[in-house]
Amino acid sequence: MSITKTYDPKIAEEKWYAHWLEKGYFNSVPDDREPFTVVIPPPNVTGVLHMGHMLNNTIQDVLIRRSRMQGKNACWIPGTDHASIATEAKVVQKLKSEGVSKADLSREEFLGHAFEWKDKHGGIILEQLKKLGASCDWNRTHFTMDQSYSESVIDVFVDLFNKGKIYRGVRMVNWDPDALTAVSDEEVLHKEVNSKLFFVRYKVVGTQDEWLNIATTRPETIFGDTAICVNPSDDRYKSLHGKSIHVPLTDRTIPIVTDEYVDVEFGTGCLKITPAHDINDYEIGVKHNLDNINVFNDNGTLNAYGLHYEGIDRFEVRKQIEKELNEKGYLIKVEDHQNKVGYSERTNAVIEPKLSLQWFVNMKELSEPALENVMNGKIQFHPSKFKNTYRHWMENIKDWCISRQLWWGHRIPAFYYGKGTNDFVVAKTIEEAIEVASNKLGKSITKKDLRQDEDVLDTWFSSWLWPISVFDGLTKPNNEEINYYYPTNDLVTAPEIMFFWVARMIMAGYEYLDELPFRNVYFTGIVRDKLGRKMSKSLGNSPDPIELIHKFGADGVRVGVLISSPAGNDLPFDTSQCEQGRNFSNKLWNAYRLISSWEVKDIEQPASSAIAIDWFKNKFQKTLTELNELYDNYKISEALMVSYKLVWDDFCSWYLEIIKPGYQHPIDRKTLEQSVFLFNDVLKVLHPFMPFVTEELWHQLSDQKEDLVVSSWPDFSGFDEGVLSSFSSAAEIVSNVRNIRKQQSIGGKVKLELFYSGKYMGGKEFTSMIRKMGNLSVFESTAEKIGNSNGFIVDGIQFYIPFGDAVDVKAERAKLEQELEYSKGFLISVQKKLGNERFVNSAPTNVVENEKKKQADALLKISLIEEKLGNLN
RNA sequence: GGGCGAUUAACUCAGUUGGUUCAGAGUGCCUCCCUUACAAGGAGGAAGUCGGGGGUUCGAGUCCCUCAUUGCCCA
């Protein structure tokens, strides 16, 4: 045999991917077919493929390929995200390694380096996706900083500003004192740490010796205290309402205010309020109109407000101030305390909350249609449990801080002409800004009078437009493409970006196109290692997907990541799953190898082959309905498993074994032709999961004018449940025979005789199949009592394999007695149920009928076993 | 602290409205077999009081309460 014994993915993968591209199968243009659109969650432009991408993109490809085969105009838009923070960090790091500091560069110089970096590393990930088999329309590759995309981002900013939905305000940001920049919430890691809770006493103004005890984890911020807050209902402090208090170590006095926010149980029930250094304090400060005193320099040392601690680092101050407070009689006690502290993901510095002027989007109105249309099911979440989380977030939505103190990204189109907080205009270009500002000021100004905002926009402020802007839906409203492809169909993404991205795309969709951006959202899980840890680069526990593809083939890896990954559940990944996938590819390959090895002759078709074909046709149709249903419900892993069993168990273990001619015997033409036909259908349903091996076999198996990738998904034509159940009875008979062989240690080559009493309804086709699969010399009915034999019961018919003296009568008797006992126990339980009047009266009739049938079956079985026992010598 | 989930075989998971597709699948494990597609294989097998405890019901893996363990999101 010239065909290799195992499937070699390498050649097929390269060949077919190139072929598909050359034929342009993945390219889509609007036509009169129904569109099926998916936009890729754009990976970071400088990213490399990790296991999360593998899972995510395999699912998208499965959905896209199936839709394409269903005759839809499938369009999968690829692209990348500029990922401002991540990319800028990488560029800064790279420059640093070359001895260049970002601070020494101008904005233009830095951006030059950034684009250079992007051109070099950008899009590697897209090339890697091709290895996976992703059938994206590569002509439509987008980047969030492309010219027209950027325009739409700026347009949206200007538009929302003009609608009053974007405003500028003070807010607490996460300040990284090492990197000297604000970082986003996503870049702050909260860790549980052991710290200390300091109990400090503050003297009440106007009293000789009245003190208030306050618990704090940050005594160094005492210099920024601008109030003491107690719960208004706290009886301990009611007498102090409206009074003032001295701040220790300073000559300042501050008011005592009341707020429900204070937890009576925590610490002493008195909270010192430092509005400049804690987000909650800040909010209380706003409410009670308190001053903000910032006591820190940007590098985390204290400033002049820190008095004699000026210039000393915050943590050092904490140590020293503990000593001073103690010496001066302010410190009452110190307790150990566990709390959560935010650390910078990049520098590991403790994050300092800092007040600054930022840009915000008012989310209230935007969120309303977005919430409504998920809750009412117009946009479906899979699995639906995520609706709850979504609702909770949307109902408590906060304004969105969209400015970032970075250079890489879309620069905020705000232009300042003065120092006042309102001395600015928002405009798409500087030219427009000049005009708007001139009008506003009532005098003509020039370019050099304007200074553009230094900050860029949050990355999500561009990616929330992704499903719209990849079709230029904003820059060219109502163009043919946006009208055709939008709303898109399915979005496949991770639950952790449900708020950052999914929710905001929905908002943008309703705000700008008055329409949902996608109909279904499939949430994948997190890929974890065997120990349950999230796979990450820093842990080094993530296998390189490209190496996996080399080792197991793209199809094998695709199967490996899908096989145990229900929607919304984490995927505990192990390379052994890819091995299973590779073995599956190989199984398919060998099925083909077997069929192709047969010599064809115009001989009569065996009855067993005829029934096998009839059965498999029905079996396939039944499986097809299951598959379609599973797809409709986005149960992709289960669909794969169903396909896997169809191939392995039904097609290979049963079908091919039944039709397989004897060694060096030819096969009849009819059976071979039918087999090729059936195999092709199998390849079709398997193609979305395993595109390469199926395309290869599709062409190897028979001459095909059309490629599998663009062939049509099998039609549903119905199936006959009767044929399926007759077959499973026959298969059960065969299994029983095999089992007896096993128990008796009789090899498969030894022919056995099988008799049965009563009437076997299978007909000659099944008889022929059973004879072949059981390797029987005799399979017939007998009226004679068979004495020493091994037996079994299928469908109420007693089967015997006579062995005469060879039978271990004792063992057979024991086996039968055990069965008898079980059946009797079963009968009793059924009869008990039927004897219960309340059951018979309240249960639906079909349930009662069923119990009656169970009773009859059990009685029959018992009589058969008893008869058999009587016949044993 | 607030919210949302999860707990079914050694592992990973199915289990629609309570009752035959109810105790399932794949992997792993055990036994036998290198049989003429595939040992990356074949045939067979064992394995779970459905997290604990209560309750509703003729009937609970499924509904309710409670406890335990655990995950995620937000603060």
- Which chain A residues in 333-362 sit with Cβ < 7 A of strand B? 340
pLDDT of residue A432: 95
pLDDT per residue over A267-325, tens digit each?
A: 778 888 888 888 788 888 888 888 888 999 988 899 999 899 999 999 999 999 999 99
Calculate the angstrom distance between C1' of B13 and CA of A160.
Answer: 46
pLDDT per residue over A371-407, tens digit each?
A: 999 988 899 998 888 888 898 888 888 888 899 888 9
Residue A820 Cβ under 7 A from any strand B atom: no
- Which chain A residues in 839-858 sit with Cβ < 7 A of strand B? 839, 842-844, 847, 850, 854, 857
Residue A384 Cβ under 7 A from any strand B atom: no
- Distance separating alpha carbons of residues A873 and A869, to the nearest angstrom: 9
pLDDT of residue A770: 93
Residue A524 Cβ under 7 A from any strand B atom: no
- Which chain A residues in 4-33 sit with Cβ < 7 A of strand B? 5-7
Residue A662 Cβ under 7 A from any strand B atom: yes
- Distance separating alpha carbons of residues A315 and A321, to the nearest angstrom: 10
Rounded to the nearest 5 percent, the helix, strand and coil shares of chain A are 50, 20, 30
Calculate the angstrom distance between C1' of B69 and CA of A576.
Answer: 29
- Distance separating alpha carbons of residues A776 and A754, to the nearest angstrom: 7
Note the ipTM here: 0.94
pLDDT of residue A590: 96
Calculate the angstrom distance between C1' of B19 and CA of A570.
Answer: 33
Poorest-confidence range of A132-136, A585-589, A798-802, A821-825? A821-825
Which residue places its CA closest to the C1' of nucleotide B26? A641
Task: Indicate the pLDDT class of residue A858, thresholds 50, 70 and 90.
Answer: confident
Residue A580 Cβ under 7 A from any strand B atom: yes
Residue A591 Cβ under 7 A from any strand B atom: yes
Counting Cβ atoms within 10 Å, is residue A855 exposed (0-12), middle (13-18) or buried (19+)?
Answer: middle
- Which chain A residues in 295-334 sit with Cβ < 7 A of strand B? none
- Which chain A residues in 176-195 sit with Cβ < 7 A of strand B? 185, 190
Which residue places its CA closest to the C1' of nucleotide B36? A663
Is the pLDDT at A740 greater than 70? The verdict is yes
The nt closest to A663 (CA vs C1′) is B36
pLDDT per residue over A153-196, tens digit each?
A: 999 999 999 999 999 988 788 888 887 777 766 667 777 677 78
- Residue A193 to residues A70, A340, A343: CA-CA distances in angstroms? 55, 6, 11
The nt closest to A749 (CA vs C1′) is B35
- Percent of chain A past pLDDT 70, that is, above it, reads 98
Calculate the angstrom distance between C1' of B55 and CA of A841.
Answer: 24
The nt closest to A496 (CA vs C1′) is B73
Higher-scoring residue by pLDDT: A873, A831 = A831
The nt closest to A392 (CA vs C1′) is B3
No. of helices (H) and no. of strands (E), chain A: 28, 31
User: What would the two tokens of residue A635 be?
Assistant: 């149960």
Residue A700 Cβ under 7 A from any strand B atom: no
Q: What are phi and psi of A303, to 5 degrees?
A: -100, -165
Residue A721 Cβ under 7 A from any strand B atom: no
Task: Indicate the pLDDT class of residue A29, thresholds 50, 70 and 90.
Answer: very high
Calculate the angstrom distance between C1' of B62 and CA of A572.
Answer: 27
The nt closest to A649 (CA vs C1′) is B42
Non-local (6+) Cβ contacts of A712 within 8 A are A69, A70, A71, A684
Q: H or E element: which one contains A597?
A: helix A575-597
Q: Please answer whether residues A74 and A64 qualify as being in contact, where contact means their C-beta atoms are separated by less than 8 angstroms.
A: yes
Q: Please answer whether residues A796 and A860 qualify as being in contact, where contact means their C-beta atoms are separated by less than 8 angstroms.
A: yes
Calculate the angstrom distance between C1' of B63 and CA of A838.
Answer: 20
pLDDT averaged over chain A?
89
Calculate the angstrom distance between C1' of B45 and CA of A739.
Answer: 9
- Three-state DSSP state, A533: coil
- Three-state DSSP state, A779: strand
Which residue places its CA closest to the C1' of nucleotide B33? A747
- Which chain A residues in 228-287 sit with Cβ < 7 A of strand B? 279-280
- Which chain A residues in 418-447 sit with Cβ < 7 A of strand B? none
Is the pLDDT at A8 greater than 50? The verdict is yes
Calculate the angstrom distance between C1' of B11 and CA of A636.
Answer: 21
Which residue places its CA closest to the C1' of nucleotide B1? A263
Calculate the angstrom distance between C1' of B43 and CA of A689.
Answer: 29
pLDDT of residue A805: 64
Task: Indicate the pLDDT class of residue A68, thresholds 50, 70 and 90.
Answer: very high
Poorest-confidence range of A83-92, A336-345, A603-612? A336-345
- Which chain A residues in 727-756 sit with Cβ < 7 A of strand B? 734-735, 738-739, 741-742, 745, 748-749
pLDDT per residue over A746-779, tens digit each?
A: 888 888 899 998 788 778 889 999 999 999 998 9
Give the best-scoring range by mean pLDDT among A46-50, A817-821, A837-841: A46-50
What is the DSSP code string of A623-645? HHHHHHHHHHTT-HHHHHHHHHH
The nt closest to A283 (CA vs C1′) is B75
- Distance separating alpha carbons of residues A707 and A149, to the nearest angstrom: 35
pLDDT of residue A807: 63
Which residue places its CA closest to the C1' of nucleotide B4? A389
Is the pLDDT at A603 greater than 90? The verdict is yes
Poorest-confidence range of A53-57, A267-271, A483-487, A657-661? A267-271
Q: Please answer whether residues A795 and A756 qualify as being in contact, where contact means their C-beta atoms are separated by less than 8 angstroms.
A: no
Higher-scoring residue by pLDDT: A862, A553 = A553
Task: Indicate the pLDDT class of residue A527, thresholds 50, 70 and 90.
Answer: confident
Instruction: Enter the pTM of the model.
Output: 0.90
Which residue places its CA closest to the C1' of nucleotide B43? A738
Strand B bases, protein C-beta under 7 A: 2-6, 11-14, 19-20, 25-28, 31-32, 35-45, 57-59, 71-75
Is the pLDDT at A1 greater than 60? The verdict is no
Calculate the angstrom distance between C1' of B33 and CA of A774.
Answer: 16
Residue A827 Cβ under 7 A from any strand B atom: no
Higher-scoring residue by pLDDT: A225, A534 = A225
- Which among A345, A390, A399 is positioned nearest to A372, based on CA atoms? A390
- The three state secondary structure string of A106-136 is CHHHHHHHHHHHHHHHCCHHHHHHHHHCCCC
Poorest-confidence range of A34-43, A69-78, A600-609, A737-746? A737-746
Residue A648 Cβ under 7 A from any strand B atom: yes
The nt closest to A8 (CA vs C1′) is B40
